[in-house]
């Protein structure tokens, strides 16, 4: 079965990230935010603005090569966040939970928030906005470009 795709626009990502900030506001205040690179950088920036948080750290876990999953590798540690006490971890998506498990081990006391969550990774996250099915591949705005698509009727006529 071919994977399903769900396209997220810049506007939608902004709205969903802001909705996540609303949920996180009552759980703060936060000492700082740890953005999981690369996908968590933009949601973290939006959330940092909305929560008026100026201390931003990053963690880089390399797991994917395009759409192919590999073994996780910590490329950059979030040294300023210590054990995560009082810190907020932000990512765009929790999928299988591979990255989340690694980051949780690095920052066991942090609060983990994602904009989108799939069922396999959902239990590893403290707060999220939208759940999508496990077989859905989310196309984020930084991964896509607008282009012409033939009408549905034309594609069915073949």
Model confidence over 131-158: pLDDT tens digits?
999 999 999 999 888 888 788 887 666 5
What kind and span of H or E run contains 151?
A: none
Topology annotation, domain 4-142 = Rossmann fold (3.40.50)
Structure tokens at 40: 């968590």
* Residue 19 neighbours by CB distance under 10 Å: 14
95 is catalytic: yes
pLDDT tens column, 76-95: 999 999 999 999 999 999 99
Q: Is residue 109 very low, low, confident or very high in pLDDT (cuts 50, 70, 90)?
A: very high
Question: Which of 11, 92, 126, 135 is flagged as catalytic?
Answer: 92
**pLDDT value, residue 2:** 55
Catalytic site includes residue 143? no
Question: Where exactly are the structural domains of the chain?
Answer: 4-142
Q: How confident is the model at residue 68 (pLDDT cuts 50, 70, 90)?
A: low
Rounded to 5 degrees, what angle do the CA atoms 125, 141, 92 make?
10
CA distances from 74 to 24, 37, 78, 94, 122 (A): 26, 11, 10, 17, 21
The reply to whether 91 belongs to the active site is yes
- Residue 66: which pLDDT band, with cuts at 50, 70 and 90? low
Q: Select which of 66, 83, 95, 135 is catalytic.
A: 95
* Burial category of 68 from C-beta neighbours within 10 Å (exposed 0-12, middle 13-18, buried 19 and up): exposed
Q: Which one is catalytic: 11, 52, 91, 143?
A: 91
pTM for the full predicted model: 0.87
């Amino acid at each position: 079965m071919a994977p399903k795709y769900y396209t997220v626009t810049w506007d939608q990502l902004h709205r969903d990230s802001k909705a996540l900030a609303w949920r996180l506001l009552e759980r703060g205040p936060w000492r700082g935010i740890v953005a999981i690179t690369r996908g968590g950088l933009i949601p973290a920036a939006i959330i940092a603005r909305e929560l008026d948080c100026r201390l931003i750290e990053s963690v880089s876990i390399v797991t994917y090569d395009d759409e192919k999953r590999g073994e996780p590798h910590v490329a950059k540690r979030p040294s300023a966040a210590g054990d995560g006490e009082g810190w907020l971890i932000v990512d765009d998506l929790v999928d299988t939970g591979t990255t989340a498990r690694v980051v949780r081990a690095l920052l066991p006391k942090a609060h983990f928030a994602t904009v989108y969550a799939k069922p396999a990774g959902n239990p590893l996250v403290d707060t999220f906005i939208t759940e999508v099915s496990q077989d859905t591949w989310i196309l984020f705005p930084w991964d896509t470009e607008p282009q012409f698509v033939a009408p549905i009727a034309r594609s069915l006529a073949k």
